[in-house]
Amino acid sequence: MIYVVDASAAIAWFVPEPEHVDADFLLGNSMRRVAPDLIFAEVANVLQRKVRLGQITAQQAVDGLTTLDESIDEILPSKALCRQAFDLSRKLDHSVYDCMYLAATLSTDDSYLVTSDMKFLTKAHAAGEGDRIRTLETAHALFASAQENKHG
């Protein structure tokens, strides 16, 4: 399985959030993780905000950035996705930043975007662009079901 991981899903790997348990399955070896290069700046920004607010330590943020760097199998250049993301942004009336992940998904065969951004997911579905997007919860349930069927 190929998952394009957005910043909201990646943050859940190393910051205690309600979705944290569901995000851990994405770190398994049985799947490929793809993201636009934008993910590093977005995750670093969220981690810095959490450090400033006292929700995590600076060392936890650094460890999170290391985990992120080690966990993304393929990094797609934003330059190659920007025009498509811009067009999607206009269609969805949503940020180009979030649409970069959808553009990455649409340009990566057999992939699904995994996110915990419900506002984005709702807009994508309303615009007819949600077929290849999964919430963390849904992606986890599908993964667990496939594993169960595989091992009988």
pLDDT band at 143 (very low <50, low <70, confident <90, very high): confident
Q: What is the mean pLDDT of residues 16-29?
A: 74
Q: How high is the pLDDT of residue 20?
A: 64
Give the Cα separation of 141 and 85 in Å (integer): 28
Note the pLDDT of residue 129: 96
Residue 29: predicted pLDDT: 75
Nearest CA-CA partner of 4 in 32, 27, 23 = 32
| CA dist., res. 128 & res. 91, Å (int) | 10
* Sheet bearing 111-115, strands edge to edge: 74-76, 32-36, 2-5, 111-115, 133-135
At 12 the pLDDT is: 87
pLDDT of residue 117: 93
If pLDDT is split at 50, 70 and 90, which confidence band does 18 have? low
Is the pLDDT at 30 greater than 90, yes or no? no
| pTM of the complete model beyond 0.85 | yes
pLDDT tens-digit series, residues 39-97: 999 999 999 999 999 999 999 999 999 999 999 999 999 999 999 999 999 999 999 99
